[in-house]
Chain A
Amino acid sequence: MNPLWLMLLILVPLVGAMIIAFGSGKNAYRDALFASLASLVPAVAALMEFDFTHAGHYQGQWSVSWLEPLGLKLSLGVDSVALLLILLSVLLGPVCVLASKTAITDNRKLYYAWLLVLQSAMVGVFCARDLLLFYICFEFTLLPMFILIRMFGSTNRVAASTKFFLYTFTGSLVTLAGLVYVVKFAAERNGVWSLDIGTLTTAASYMSPKEQAWVLGAMLAGFAVKVPLFPVHTWLPLAHTEAPTAGSVILAGVLLKLGTYGIYRFAIPMAPVAFTEHAPTIAVLAIIGIIYAGLICWVQDDIKKLVAYSSVSHLGFCVLGLTALNANGLSGSVLYMLSHGFSTGGLFLMIGFMYERYHTRDMRKVGGLASKMPVWAFFMVFFTMASVGLPGLNGFPSELLCLISAFQADGSWTAAGEPGAAGVTLGPWYAAVAGTGMVVAAMYLLIMVGRICFGPKIEPEGHHHHEVLPDDLNAREIVTLLPLAVGCLAFGLFPGLLLGAIEEPVNDTVRLVEASHELSGPHAMADSASTAAEGVRP
Chain B
Amino acid sequence: MIADLLTAPAWSALLAMAPDAQGAGGSHAATQVAHGPGWVLLIPFLPLLGAALCGLYAAMGVKSKLPAWTVIGLLAVSFVTTVAMATGFGGADGAAYTVKAFDWIQVHGEHNSFVANFSFFVDTLTIYWMLFVTGLATLIALYASEYMSHDVGTGYCRFFAAFSLFVFSMACLVMGDNLVMLYLGWEGVGLCSYLLIGYFYKKPSAVAAAKKAFIVNRVGDLGLALGLYLTYVHFGTVEYAALFANERLLHYVELAKTGAFDQIPMMAQGIPLLLMVGAFGKSAQFPLYVWLPDAMEGPTPVSALIHAATMVTAGVYLIARFYPVFLASELALPIVAWIGTITALLAATIGMAQFDIKRIMAYSTVSQLGYMFAGLGVLTPTGAAYHTLTHAFFKALLFLCCGAVMHGFAGQLDLRKLSGLRRVKGWGIVSFGMLIGCLNLAGFPLTAGFFSKDTILAEAFVTPGTAVIGWILIITAGMTAYYTFRVFFRVFVGPVEYHPGDEAHDHDHGHEDHGHAHGETHTHDAGHHGDHHGDHFHPHAPGWAINTVLATLTVLSIAASGLYFVGAGEAHGTKTKHYADTMVSASTAGYHSPYSEHAFHAEHGADHNADDGGDHAAPHAGVGPRGTIDEPLMLLGKDPHKIMYYVSGVVGLVGIVLAWFFHYAGRKTASECRMDKVARLFGPIPRWAENKWYVDEFYNATIRVPLRVVSHFFHWFDKLVIDGVVNLAGLSPRIGGWLIRPSQSGVLQGYAAGMVGGVAVLLVVILLVVRFGGGA
Contacts and interface: CB of A to CB of B under 8 A. Distances in A.
Contacts of A457: 202
A397 interface: yes
A82 B118 CA distance: 28
Contacts, number: 199
Interface in A408-464: 408, 410, 413-418, 421, 428, 431-432, 435-436, 438-439, 442-443, 446-447, 450, 453-457
Interface in B184-205: 184, 186-188, 191, 194-195, 198, 201-204
Nearest to A536: B265
A198 interface: no
Contacts of A235: 726
Interface in B160-218: 180, 183-184, 186-188, 191, 194-195, 198, 201-204, 207-208, 210-211, 214-215, 218
Contact of A455 (B204, B225, B251, B707): B204
Nearest to A442: B218
Interface string B210-246: 1100110011011001101110111111000000000
Interface string B719-739: 000110010001000000000
B26 interface: yes
B218 A328 contact: no
A415 B110 contact: no
Interface in B517-540: none
B233 A414 contact: yes
Q: Name the 9 nearest CB pairs between A and B, nearest first.
A: A327-B109, A415-B236, A391-B184, A416-B23, A454-B201, A295-B711, A234-B723, A442-B218, A496-B103
A455 B200 CA distance: 9
Interface stretch (A35-43, A47-55, A259-267, A367-375): A367-375
Contacts of B207: 450, 454-455
Nearest to A294: B711
Contacts of A431: 226, 229
Contact of B23 (A300, A390, A417, A500): A417
A23 interface: no
Contacts of A167: 726
Contact of B225 (A328, A410, A435, A442): A435
B762 to A, nearest CB: 27
A499 B107 contact: yes
B106 interface: yes
A299 B711 contact: yes
16 contacts: A295-B711, A327-B108, A390-B187, A408-B232, A428-B233, A435-B222, A436-B222, A439-B218, A446-B194, A447-B211, A456-B508, A493-B104, A494-B102, A496-B103, A506-B109, A537-B251
Interface string A315-359: 000000000001110011000000000000000000000000000
Given A407-B233, A446-B214, A401 B107 contact: yes
Interface of B: 23-24, 26, 102-112, 114, 118, 154, 180, 183-184, 186-188, 191, 194-195, 198, 201-204, 207-208, 210-211, 214-215, 218-219, 221-222, 225-226, 228-230, 232-237, 248, 251, 265, 267, 508, 707-708, 710-712, 714-715, 718, 722-723, 726, 730
A332 B232 CA distance: 15
B188 A404 contact: no
Given A234-B726, A496-B105, A499-B105, A415 B715 contact: no
B211 A231 contact: no
A450 to B, nearest CB: 5
A506 B104 CA distance: 18
Given A392-B184, A454-B207, A299 B715 contact: yes
Nearest to A167: B726
Contacts of A397: 104-105
Contacts of A415: 23-24, 26, 112, 232-237
Interface string A259-281: 00000000000000000000000
A403 B109 contact: no
Contacts of B711: 295-296, 298-299
Contacts of A385: 191
A392 B188 contact: yes
Contacts of A232: 726
Interface of A: 163, 166-167, 231-235, 292, 295-296, 298-300, 326-328, 331-332, 368, 370-371, 374, 381, 385, 390-392, 396-397, 400-401, 403-404, 407-408, 410, 413-418, 421, 428, 431-432, 435-436, 438-439, 442-443, 446-447, 450, 453-457, 493-496, 499-500, 503, 506-507, 510-511, 514, 535, 537
A420 to B, nearest CB: 9
Nearest to A407: B229
Q: Is the interface of A mostly helix, strand, loop or mixed?
A: helix
A454 to B, nearest CB: 4
A166 B730 contact: yes
A537 B248 contact: yes
A343 to B, nearest CB: 15
A296 B184 CA distance: 28
A403 B237 CA distance: 15
A446 B211 contact: yes
A311 to B, nearest CB: 14
Contacts of B230: 407, 428
A390 B188 contact: yes
Contacts of B723: 234
Given A327-B110, A438-B222, A493-B104, A371 B202 contact: yes
A302 B267 CA distance: 43
Most chain A Cβ neighbours within 10 Å, of B109, B118, B187, B708: B109
A235 B211 CA distance: 31
A374 B154 contact: yes
Given A167-B726, A234-B722, A370 B201 contact: yes
Contacts of A300: 715
B718 A296 contact: yes
A431 B274 CA distance: 13
B107 A418 contact: no
Contacts of B222: 435-436, 438-439
Nearest to B27: A415
Nearest to A453: B201
Contacts of A233: 722
Contacts of A443: 215, 218
Most chain B Cβ neighbours within 10 Å, of A417, A443, A514: A443
Contacts of A500: 106
Contact of B215 (A435, A446, A514, A537): A446
Nearest to A418: B111
B715 A296 contact: yes
B485 to A, nearest CB: 38
A302 B534 CA distance: 51
A231 B211 CA distance: 30
Nearest to A510: B110
A229 B647 CA distance: 63
Given A296-B711, A368-B202, A404-B232, 12 more contacts: A232-B726, A234-B723, A328-B109, A368-B201, A403-B229, A404-B114, A404-B233, A413-B233, A415-B26, A415-B237, A511-B110, A537-B248
B234 A295 contact: no
Contacts of B232: 404, 407-408, 415
Most chain A Cβ neighbours within 10 Å, of B105, B204, B730: B105
B109 A421 contact: yes
Nearest to B105: A397
A485 to B, nearest CB: 12
Most chain B Cβ neighbours within 10 Å, of A167, A414, A417, A510: A414
A456 B204 contact: yes
A507 B105 contact: no
Given A370-B201, A455-B207, A296 B187 contact: no
A491 B106 CA distance: 13
Nearest to A502: B107
A454 B198 contact: yes
Nearest to B186: A391
Contacts of B715: 296, 299-300
